[in-house]
Structure 1
Amino acid sequence: MNLQLEVLGSVADIPAAEWEALRRDDYPFLRHDFLLGLEQAGCTTAAAGWEPAHLRLKDQSRTLAILPAWLKTHSYGEYVFDWAWADAWRRMGLEYYPKLLTAIPFTPATGPRLLHGEDVDASFVWATFREQMPELAKRLGVSSWHVLFPQAHDARSLAAAGMHTRHQVQFHWYNRGYESFDDFLDTFSSRKRKSLRRERRRVSEQGLTLTMRNGTELSEDDWTVFHRFYQMTYAKRSGHGGYLTREFFLEVAANMGEQVLMALAEIDGVPVAGALYFCDGETLYGRYWGCSREYDCLHFETCYYQGIDYCIRHGLKRFDPGAQGEHKIQRGFEPTTTLSCHWVASPELDAAVGNFTQQEQAHVEQYRKDAMSLLPFKESQDH
């Protein structure tokens, strides 16, 4: 087999039909129009610290696989924190950036990371990328390669190819065949059930009404308002307007049809808050939230309870509401292990990263077990 590895500077270098033919499922964040839209909206460019460097593996004229990747000059928008690694490089007089990153920009959602032909073995492709990485790293001038939030089987393939696996914990909701939101609440202990119902009741008592709409039902005004909410959230948390531009919301997210959803909270028909979700045939992904002013319990209703209710009504199996947030535990979101895989060009530093990930894993697993003990379910419930 005569394999060729190409580095492409834009999603636009790959025809949409070729790209989509290699997608194995309906995971929304690997859509050609989604990733191209991020780039064209100015979110993933060299100026933003996300220089496209997508890898295409070919056998003569046939494309075997595509691996979306970026040259990163910082670690923002990743949600697997490696600032300490960058600092260690700096103290040794070395440059950590740029690094090569395989991830979904600004999206800590586990899912497929590799596009490949139906007759192509994914583990073979991962092993090929890993085998060629030392030469590719020299060519690109990168210190390391990082694959964030891969599916477990891909993480195993990368580990078998010699990469280090890092563990983290998120909090996900799982559909146990619930017929309604009340059916879900029946699994809670009495005290926790009353507390959650009180939160939902408090929202309606403030005159707030909520609707969940998909992309085909949302107007340009809805997207404009939501972008303002999004900016306000980032301004409060980080002092900047967020990673995503207005063009992204109006021209990319708005065109994703039924794979994008917005929960809008209104008072007298005026939007005051919103949460943005994406979905595929099995999973709902909670992504962004914002509000014009604070209301009691509205964040929980808009970002969590509306999503749970949607999953139950539409038969989705899982709700991934995003990274962090221990307050999700008492609302029925279960501690769930997420993965990332790492390779470092320097053998000495690669060994140090390997030792760190092994030591960290035990602490993360203990944290997950401790968090499981805080779930609100009745003792008789099997979770």
Structure 2
Amino acid sequence: MNDKPELTISVHPTTASIPSDTWNALASRGGKKPGNPFLNHAFFLALEESGCATGATGWQPQHLLISREDEPIGLMPMFLKSHSMGEYVFDQAWADAIERAGGNYYPKLQSSVPFTPASAPKLLTRDGSADTQTLLLQASEALAERLGASSVHATFVTGDEEAIAASTNWLVRHDTQFHWTNDGFETFDDFLETLQSRKRKAIRRERRDALIDGIVCEWFTGSDLTEARWDAFYKFYMDTGARKWGRPYLNREFFSRVTETMADSVVLMLARDGDEYIAGALNFVGDDTLYGRNWGAVRDVPFLHFELCYYQAIDFAIAHRLKRVEAGAQGQHKLARGYAPAVTRSIHHIVHPGLRRAVSEYLEDERKYVDLQNQELADYTPFRKG
């Protein structure tokens, strides 16, 4: 007689097919709302129902849900992808290598928050069970085999997830972001006092020059996120994004939808000159972290980007007693503004043995480089020594 509880694994081609209560309970380990806003069911649903992350854009949901005797115990947000755009962990060279050898890299399976380079768990369980997380990894491997996918990738994962994946023979990749840490500061000046004198002076000068001629910065969240303010921000977002990336990933509808369902997790910072908004930065706020996401401007004002995206974010974090500001992907220029290097992690299962071997060797060297680079970058932080 088999007394083991029966496990079932289901694949969901839409976010809506998983009840929000089920999703959020797994993403918050039994709570009602995830501490990380990007894990919220409402965030994924807004991306999907606005048309930003769907099969038509190369992001076909394939969310994995594991249940034990009809009780959901594990979730791995997953997408079947036909490209590598919008991920911020770059694997195009891997795709080129296998395709030059006559193979196919796409489709691949991607576990991530679309268009969002912020670390957050991807192996979601109600109780933090390592066994259930391992089952999710195994289920994703089986799904890749069934769909004929070349690989499975989970990007911006946690350190614990990295360790579990490495123990199951997945490949591990590291990269660097720059995060600001709140050491119990009461004011921005308290933070500045931890910096070297010339760095303090440089930041004060940048803030003064950014707000020259009466430009002011305003914060909006909750019911203050009006359609008119979103219209203004979207103009900045499209103008800057089109010049930088060709075509921004988010459409206008997404911002309205995310406001309808999680407005208190959104912080929109706008720069105003008189009656005209000229620039904006979009942030999301979690239990202890402010996440900078998108920026745009229609006027070139020196240092206004730094003011809206970095200094205003620090001001907000201090005012709301948040522990951290994560200001998005890449950008060593953040170092001089008090943001320190932090490791980001991704995990990878590659089916083709030859490609797996080559990528494994590459990643081993890359991790050593990232580790050495971060040690060197830490020596160049603007903080006073000792």
8 Å Cα contact 2:75-2:136 kept in structure 1: no
Match of 1:17 in 2: 21
Matched, 1:214 2:214: no
The range that moved more, 284-293 or 56-65, is 56-65
Question: Who is 2:89 aligned against?
Answer: 80
Tell me if the contact between 2:176 and 2:341 (Cα under 8 Å) persists in the aligned partners.
Answer: yes
Match of 2:365? 359
Q: Residue 156 in 1 paired to residue 166 in 2?
A: no
Superimposed CA distance per residue, residues 28-61 of structure 1 (whole angstroms, 9 cap, x where no aligned partner): 0111111011001001111101011100112232
Which amino acid in structure 2 is aligned with residue 337 of structure 1? V
Give the whole-Å Cα distance in 1 for the aligned partners of 2:274 and 2:308. Answer: 17
Aligned to 2:31: none
Q: Which amino acid is 2:110 matched to?
A: L
Distance 2:359 2:133 in 1: 20
Deviation at 1:372, TM superposition (A): 1.2
The one-letter code of the counterpart of 1:221 is A
Q: CA deviation at 1:131?
A: 2.9
Report the counterpart of residue 113 of structure 1 in structure 2: 122
TM-score (normalizing by structure 2):
0.95
1:350 to 345, 356, 369: 356
* Equivalences for residues 256-275 of structure 1 within 5 A: 256-275=262-281
Shift of 1:133: 4.0
Deviation at 1:337, TM superposition (A): 0.6
| SS at structure 1 position matched to 2:157 | coil
Task: List structure 1 runs of 4+ shifted beyond 6 angstroms.
Answer: none
Query: Residue type matched to 1:17 in 2?
Result: D
Once residues 106 and 133 of structure 1 are traced to their aligned partners in structure 2, the CA distance between those partners, rounded to angstroms, is 21
1:317 corresponding residue in structure 2: 323
Code of the aligned partner of 1:352: A
Taking the aligned partners of 2:104 and 2:346, their CA distance within structure 1 comes to 21
- 1:108-158 CA-partner distances (Å, limit 9, x unpaired): 10112233223x61x212211333444322211110000100111111111
Equivalent positions of 1:1-383 (< 5 A) are 1-24=5-28, 25-118=34-127, 121=129, 123-240=130-247, 242-253=248-259, 255-380=261-386
State the Cα distance separating 1:346 from its structure 2 match: 1.9
Maintained 8 Å contact 2:156/2:344: yes
**Structure 1 Cα separation of the partners of residues 142 and 124 of structure 2:** 22
Structure 2 gaps, min length 5: 29-33
Contact 2:225 2:259 in 1 (8 A): no
TM-fit CA distance, 1:254: 5.2
Aligned partners of 2:203 and 2:337 also within 8 Å: yes
> Secondary structure, in 3 states, of the residue corresponding to 2:88?
coil
**TM-score, normalising length from structure 1?**
0.95
Q: For the residues of structure 1 that align with 2:211 and 2:234, how far apart are their CA atoms?
A: 25
What are the ranges of 5 or more consecutive residues in structure 1 without an aligned counterpart? Answer: none
CA 1:127 to 1:114, structure 2 compared with 1: closer, same or farther past 3 Å?
closer
Asked if the contact 2:225–2:263 (Cα under 8 Å) also holds between the matched residues in 1, the reply is no
Q: Contact 1:100–1:145 at 8 Å: present in 2 too?
A: yes
Aligned partner letter, 2:237:
Y
**Distance in 2 separating the partners of 1:298 and 1:136:** 46
- The offset of 1:309, in angstroms, is 0.7
Contact 1:212–1:263, Cα closer than 8 Å, also in 2: yes
How large is the Cα RMSD of the aligned pairs?
Answer: 1.3
d(CA) in 2 for partners of 1:115, 1:135 = 18
Query: Counterparts of 1:218 and 1:11 in 2: how far apart (Å)?
Result: 25
Could you say what secondary structure the match of 1:22 adopts?
A: helix
- CA shift, 1:239, in A, is 2.4
SS at match of 2:328: coil
- Counterpart contact for 1:178–1:312, Cα < 8 Å: yes
**In percent, how many aligned pairs have the same letter?**
43
> Number of residue pairs matched?
377
Report the Cα distance in structure 2 between the residues aligned to 1:3 and 1:101, rounded to whole angstroms.
23
The 3 A distance-change label for structure 1 pair 190 and 134 is closer
1:53-93 CA deviation, whole Å, 9 max, x = no partner? 10011223221111110011111100001010000011110
